[in-house]
């Protein structure tokens, strides 16, 4: 009789196979247990996030940053970190808590809920680490970027414009002529140009060095920048690939960095552009200091810093040349032309920088 027993299901202890259907029953039970555990694990972050969103909308996470005044540096940083991580929800926010999307990320578990503010769609994102909610935010759909920028047609045109610009610089074309006139202007006012490079790159280095005294404040500033990029819509641009990402980087740096905050203030005789970029370079140095970045990522980002920051230096330079020409009696119109030529040079630097930064983000620092 003992010889009729079959042992060896591999489940430990051995189970007789002569019992009808025993093997099938056991495997079904194990499968049910496995599936139930997987569902439970998937639901746990969603349930935590769902409750957190309800508490967030009820104001339980709200914190006034002014409470940091008078606190010790460590306490102040903690309060500021929390106020940034749990910024108040926008007025009129409605959230669909019944359709969570759970995603594992290097920073923890990300749970997304469809949401809207009036007619503006978007999503509420909840970040969890070890079961604890560390961040809640509303991200509008598309951010502040125009809709056309996500079109493959726009990406193709951007590639064509880049190649055409590079080709036309060599010939007797308006683009080539402006390029040569721009660098002739730099040579004519080389002392101003070199002085600006020393000043602004120097402020960047100063910010990077001072960051070593407050590394936690650096990380806080990086979180602020990261949150701002998400609101803008740049954070998700990497999913568009190198063409889409390069176009987004170029568009944002050109419109917000070079035109609105450098060339436009530069029209007011240059000084406002100089002051804006002096503050900008110091903050950039503080936020992008090696103290808070992996060594490999920082080294890969150095060309981006040199190229893109040079674009803003050229724009600031144009504003100061405008001031110089007005003071020498050459007229405001001549100064505006100098500013336009310097801005043209800066635009080309941003173009090259955008292509490199897209390559860096997608392939060098991952």
**145, 234 Cβ separation under 8 angstroms:** yes
**Phi, psi at residue 291, to the nearest 5°?**
-65, -25
Query: What percentage of the chain exceeds 70 in pLDDT?
Result: 86
Q: Which residues of 176-193 are buried (b: 16+ CB within 10 A; e: fewer)?
A: eebbeebeebbeebeebb
Q: Among 50, 60, 136, 132, which Cα is nearest to 99's?
A: 50
How large is the average pLDDT for residues 179-198? 98
**5, 16 Cβ separation under 8 angstroms:** yes
| pLDDT of the residue at 180 | 96
Domain borders along the chain are: 1-141, 147-364
How large is the average pLDDT for residues 267-289? 94
pLDDT surpasses 90 at 132: no
Residues 6+ apart with CB under 8 A from 120: 140, 141
**220, 81 Cβ separation under 8 angstroms:** yes
Residues 6+ apart with CB under 8 A from 247: 149, 154, 155, 158, 354
More confident call, 160 vs 60: 160
| pLDDT of the residue at 43 | 54
132 token code pair: 């604890």
pLDDT surpasses 50 at 74: yes
pLDDT surpasses 80 at 72: no
pLDDT surpasses 60 at 139: yes
Place of tokens 């050229």: 314
Q: If DSSP states are collapsed to H, E and C, what string results for 188-206?
A: HCHHHHHHHHHHHHHHHHH
pLDDT surpasses 90 at 315: yes
pLDDT surpasses 60 at 2: no
- At 179, the pLDDT band (50, 70, 90 cuts) reads very high
> Exposed/middle/buried for 126, CB within 10 Å: 0-12, 13-18, 19+?
buried
How large is the average pLDDT for residues 322-347? 97
pTM for this model (two decimals): 0.77
Q: Distance between CA 359 and CA 366 in Å, rounded?
A: 11
Percent helix, strand and coil across the chain, each to the nearest 5: 70, 10, 20
pLDDT surpasses 80 at 191: yes
**Residues facing 111 on adjacent strands:** 102, 126
How large is the average pLDDT for residues 4-10? 41
| pLDDT of the residue at 41 | 46
Q: How far is CA 363 from CA 30, 152, 241, 242, in A?
A: 42, 21, 10, 9
Tens digits of residue pLDDT in 103-131: 888 778 889 999 999 888 889 999 988 88
Considering only 97-106, 187-196, 315-324, which range has the smallest mean pLDDT? 97-106
pLDDT surpasses 60 at 40: no
Report domain 1-141's class: alpha beta
pLDDT surpasses 80 at 32: no
């Amino acid at each position: 009789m003992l010889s009729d027993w079959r042992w060896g299901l591999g489940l430990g202890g051995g189970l007789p196979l002569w019992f009808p259907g025993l093997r099938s029953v056991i495997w079904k039970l194990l499968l049910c247990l496995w599936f139930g555990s997987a569902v439970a694990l998937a639901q746990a972050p969603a349930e935590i996030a769902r409750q957190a969103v309800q508490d967030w909308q009820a104001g339980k996470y709200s914190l006034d940053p002014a409470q940091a005044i008078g606190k010790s540096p460590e306490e102040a940083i903690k309060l500021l970190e929390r106020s940034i991580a749990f910024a108040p929800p926008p007025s009129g926010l409605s959230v669909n808590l019944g359709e969570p999307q759970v995603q594992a990320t290097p920073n923890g578990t990300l749970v997304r809920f469809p949401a809207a503010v009036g007619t503006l769609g978007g999503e509420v994102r909840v970040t969890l680490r070890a079961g604890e909610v560390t961040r809640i935010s509303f991200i509008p759909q598309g951010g502040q970027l125009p809709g056309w920028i996500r079109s493959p047609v726009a990406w193709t045109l951007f590639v064509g414009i880049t190649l055409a610009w590079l080709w036309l610089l060599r010939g007797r074309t308006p683009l080539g002529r402006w390029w040569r006139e721009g660098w002739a202007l730099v040579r004519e006012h080389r002392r101003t140009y070199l002085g600006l490079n020393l000043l602004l790159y120097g402020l960047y280095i100063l910010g990077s060095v001072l960051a070593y005294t407050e590394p936690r404040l650096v990380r806080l500033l990086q979180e602020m920048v990261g949150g701002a990029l998400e609101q803008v819509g740049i954070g998700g641009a990497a999913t568009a690939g190198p063409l889409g990402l390069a176009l987004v980087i170029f568009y944002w740096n050109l419109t917000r960095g070079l035109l609105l905050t450098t060339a436009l203030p530069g029209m007011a005789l240059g000084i406002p552009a100089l002051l804006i970029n002096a503050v900008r370079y110091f903050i950039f140095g503080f936020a992008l200091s090696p103290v808070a970045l992996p060594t490999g990522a920082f080294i890969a980002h150095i060309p981006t810093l040199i190229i893109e920051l040079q674009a803003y230096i050229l724009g600031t330079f144009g504003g100061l040349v405008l001031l110089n020409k007005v003071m020498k009696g050459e007229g405001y119109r001549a100064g505006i032309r100098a500013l336009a030529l310097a801005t043209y040079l800066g635009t080309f630097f941003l173009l090259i920088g955008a292509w490199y930064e897209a390559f860096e983000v997608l392939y060098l620092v991952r």
